Structure 1
Amino acid sequence: MLDPKTFDSRDLRYKEPYGAVPSGTKVSLALRPPRTSGFSGGVLIAYFESTRERREEIPLTWDGIDGDRDVLRVTLDTGHHVGLVWYSFRLDGLDGRKEELGPYQLTVYDGTDQVPTWLGEGVTYQIFPDRFRRTRVPDPTGMVGGRTVHTSWREEPEYRPDANGEVRNRDFFGGDLKGVMEKLPYLHDLGVETIYFCPIFEGPENHRYGTGDYEKIDPMLGTEENFRELCRKAHRLGIRIMLDGVFNHQGYVSRYFNGDGSYPEQGASQSQDSPYYKWYHFSHWPDKYDSWWGIYSLPAVNEAEPSYREYIFGGEDSIVRRWLRAGADAWRLDVADELPDDFVHGIHQAVRETNPEAMVIGEVWEDGSTKIAYGVRRKHILGGHCDGLMNYPFRNALLSYLMGGDAAQFKDTMETLRENYPPFAFHSAMNFLGTHDTPRIITLLGYGGDGQEHDKDWRASYFLTPEQYLLGRTKLRLGALVLFAFPGSPTIYYGDESGLEGFEDPFNRRTYRWEMADGLLHSWYAKLGKARKELPSLRRGKLIWGRTEGKVISFLREGEGMPVFTAVNVGKDPESVEIPWPAKDWMTGMELPRGPVALPPMSGWLLIPYQPR
């Protein structure tokens, strides 16, 4: 077995440049086997993964001695390749033996696209529109979907199946765009620079992920003019708007499929002469068709159909373009890995043509550099597709650490992403602890799990005990500290900053109880938002790891303005942390000396340099 110090792809002495590289880069690789192992030479084996796959073998060249080790070098020319390169080494011993090392991943991306940096620099706030704030109790008469409206904002969302055994999500609370406008000063004071809206287009369900009409703001939310006004007011406060584009599937109740006849024009389910008929895959018209995950109410779209592409992004007045012109600044692509690569590329091109500063973010739950969907390695972050992804690996790793895992595992997961992702994708990632698809973070941390050992009725009615809430809040403050200090956009799911509780959907989608907000937790988030806005190193600085073992995570951000040092201890005992300079804690004002200092249990610091007078 080879000595572990023979090669380290994350060390510049072995591989330069670090991590992913633009196409055309020549990558320098060096092996350092012990002299005593008696290797006389070897080869680099590089497998270029793309539509035209190829394999190369390049001899290693002896380049002298480094202490008690031989140095063997080779240069890998990426040429015009865009995609993954899997490389490994075969070493030849003087005694005729052969040793294999690898494989390792090299991500080669198209570096010609200039990716805007604004998203990854600032704080993002996710809003589930029906549950954020309402300015009136709406009348659902005449609206699609057979809706009901909760008269009290403090009622619980419906989760039980109806008489037909379906959970239809037709109960609305009536959150609206005017309510968001009322809270723009609140979001600004929280440090928010981007609002990410779950779908706001007309749709029959309260989540609106089964789009009814891409051209129309849902009437319960308001009008197109309300949206334009919201964008204008947000922009004046330095806040950008990201829309949710659900282009892989639509609603059974929609102007395009029109399964229940709610819309006046003929949809695909009513006539094969409908202009929308080719948008769907019918195995037996009109009652058997492809749908998202087999859910009949979400018919899947044929993204290869030219008329659909023209409607979504190709035409001058296509959906992607028209809402950017109306004031939006970015699109988040729902289930991006279920959209064909060339479809995503078409959206990206339309976005950049309409506004060179606009961005495309993809929903992907895994490492986006290695994602395979429908048997195809996806091009999400190779350039010209997604500018960043929702960072579920970050959430999973940080949640594991907060719930008792080892800090070293968090670091390793993040270093894997940093090594595999192009810099633009790593820094434009949407980092978060919770979304509309995950249980509320304070509930997970306080309860210690997702409650799946109990039935749904139990989870519907469960709220944390005072002791559990205190534990959840303490851990959440530490998680938020890491979230706001790490590269990528710290993303807040509405209400997490104020202690909103709940297990899975729909309990994680309760209304924002403004009068019940946790002031201490909110104040913590507001201080972190201020730090993210005012400290350039948190916005653009490079990442340098400190101590990451056991219960302690520490790291430095530097290179832009004053450096910032973050340290967190989730253990039950004090831990020694090496502070690089005399410091002041941004969160508490406490002054700390340079050198080893005891970090108390269940606490954290956000430190900036400080010279006492």
Structure 2
Amino acid sequence: MQTAAVRHRPESEDCYLVTTETMKLRLHTGRDVKEVYVHYCDVHEPLTKLKKQAMTLAGHGQVNDYWETAVTLPLHRAQYVFEIHGQDGEEWVYGDRGFRKNEAATYEDPNNYFKLPYFHAIDMTKSPDWVKETVWYQIFPERFANGDKSNDPAGVKDWNPSDHPGREDFYGGDLQGVLDHLDYLKELGINGLYFCPIFKASSNHKYDTIDYLEIDPDFGDKQLFARLVNEAHARGMHVMLDAVFNHMGDSSMQWQDVVKNGAKSRFADWFHINRFPVEPYDPQDPSYETFAFEKHMPKLNTANPEVVDYLLTIATYWVKEFDIDAWRLDVADEVDHQFWKKFKAAVTAI
């Protein structure tokens, strides 16, 4: 049996709560395993109280098998080890200190057990039931449908099926175009609309935000967006906006103040700046940090309390004022965990 292929991470995607009394466990093994069992009991119970439960083969990967089960402990505490039977007849016990022979004495060693000292409800992932039943349709607003030609930006191209859109091209898509097609989307079976950024920005993709509190005029205005949300809700659809909080656009008031005033700018600490002046930008020796090497997207410093307050104001504003249902978190892996915890607390509180 390939013991090197066996792995388990406690308090992670391999061990998490599904209720305050139930813990889901997963074990990764090679594809040479026949059976897996978990032995478990309360952290403070003697090991003579261990229960044994078979794990189910949940799926195959290219080189791994995935086993899982759920165990229930009414006192909300757990310690556990895995019993693994290889197809070659080998039997091992796998725990926090590694592999041991599958024999009675092995289960008597308290140091080899994985432990979850207490099932804290606050640590559980609690997804609303509607999320689990949602079929999302991602809308890139500038390219979905042009419902109002009066707000088209200069240089808009015709909607030609034979045309191959260029990266910088504009086609005049807007919120009215989405509103006009809500019944079409509903007929497709869609009950969730995920909008790429709709806030004021320079580009066609709008990931270079200028103002998070304004709808981009190429797309419409707040009154139109409010109507769109209401009409979507009337059709049983939920609405999710794009939270671009890792960076903002270089045309924003905040960044332009940094460009003009350098270290004296009141926004100098809003960004990750290596030296002043910040321009010109050299990707080989950048004066400031960005999303990737995109000079038009300076990275926000989400460790700065002013930035945190600013972004949380935005996050709660669109929920409170327009009743949006969800946020999609752009470049979430490059934003610090402390910020996302504050973000979650702020939006779930309302």
Regarding TM over 0.5, the answer is yes
State yes or no: 1:290 paired with 2:296: no
Q: Which residue of 1 aligns with 2:165?
A: 157
State which of 168, 176, 179 in structure 2 corresponds to 1:178: 176
State yes or no: 1:216 paired with 2:214: yes
Q: Which residue of 2 aligns with 1:123?
A: 135
Q: Which residue of 2 aligns with 1:333?
A: 329
Q: Structure 1's 59 and 278: CA in aligned 2 closer, same or farther, altered over 3 A?
A: same
Q: Which residue of 1 aligns with 2:310?
A: 311
Report the Cα distance in structure 1 between the residues aligned to 2:138 and 2:87, rounded to whole angstroms: 52
Report the Cα distance in structure 2 between the residues aligned to 1:2 and 1:206, rounded to whole angstroms: 51
Cα shift readout 1:386-412 (whole Å, capped 9, x = no counterpart): xxxxxxxxxxxxxxxxxxxxxxxxxxx
State yes or no: 1:62 paired with 2:103: yes
Report the Cα distance in structure 2 between the residues aligned to 1:233 and 1:227, rounded to whole angstroms: 10
- Tell me if the contact between 2:80 and 2:115 (Cα under 8 Å) persists in the aligned partners: yes
Q: TM-score, normalised by structure 2?
A: 0.69
Q: Structure 1's 296 and 44: CA in aligned 2 closer, same or farther, altered over 3 A?
A: same
Structure 1 unmatched runs, 5+ = 47-55, 65-70, 83-108, 141-146, 160-168, 259-266, 355-613
State which of 108, 116, 127 in structure 2 corresponds to 1:78: 116
State which of 253, 268, 278 in structure 1 corresponds to 2:258: 268
Cα shift readout 1:193-213 (whole Å, capped 9, x = no counterpart): 110000000110000011111
Tell me the amino acid that sits aligned with residue 208 of structure 2: G
State yes or no: 1:18 paired with 2:9: no
Report the Cα distance in structure 1 between the residues aligned to 2:87 and 2:212, rounded to whole angstroms: 63
- Tell me if the contact between 1:138 and 1:174 (Cα under 8 Å) persists in the aligned partners: no
Over the matched positions of the two proteins, sequence identity in percent amounts to 29
Map 1:463-542 → 2, pairs under 5 A: none
Tell me the amino acid that sits aligned with residue 148 of structure 2: R
Tell me by how many angstroms 1:17 deviates: 6.1
Report the Cα distance in structure 1 between the residues aligned to 2:102 and 2:345, rounded to whole angstroms: 43
- Tell me if the contact between 2:145 and 2:177 (Cα under 8 Å) persists in the aligned partners: yes
Q: Which residue of 2 aligns with 1:277?
A: 268
Q: Which residue of 1 aligns with 2:44?
A: none
Cα shift readout 1:262-306 (whole Å, capped 9, x = no counterpart): xxxxx2222244432211122222322111112111111111111
What is the CA RMSD across the aligned residues, in angstroms? 3.7
Report the Cα distance in structure 2 between the residues aligned to 1:134 and 1:2, rounded to whole angstroms: 58
State yes or no: 1:345 paired with 2:345: no
Structure 2 unmatched runs, 5+ = 4-31, 39-51, 57-66, 280-286
- Tell me if the contact between 2:33 and 2:85 (Cα under 8 Å) persists in the aligned partners: yes
Map 1:176-575 → 2, pairs under 5 A: 176-258=174-256, 267-271=257-261, 272-285=263-276, 286-287=278-279, 288-313=287-312, 318-325=313-320, 326-354=322-350
- Tell me if the contact between 2:34 and 2:85 (Cα under 8 Å) persists in the aligned partners: yes
Aligned length: 283
State yes or no: 1:112 paired with 2:120: no
Cα shift readout 1:8-35 (whole Å, capped 9, x = no counterpart): 4799625896279998444452234699
Cα shift readout 1:519-564 (whole Å, capped 9, x = no counterpart): xxxxxxxxxxxxxxxxxxxxxxxxxxxxxxxxxxxxxxxxxxxxxx
Tell me by how many angstroms 1:136 deviates: 2.8
- Tell me if the contact between 1:198 and 1:244 (Cα under 8 Å) persists in the aligned partners: yes
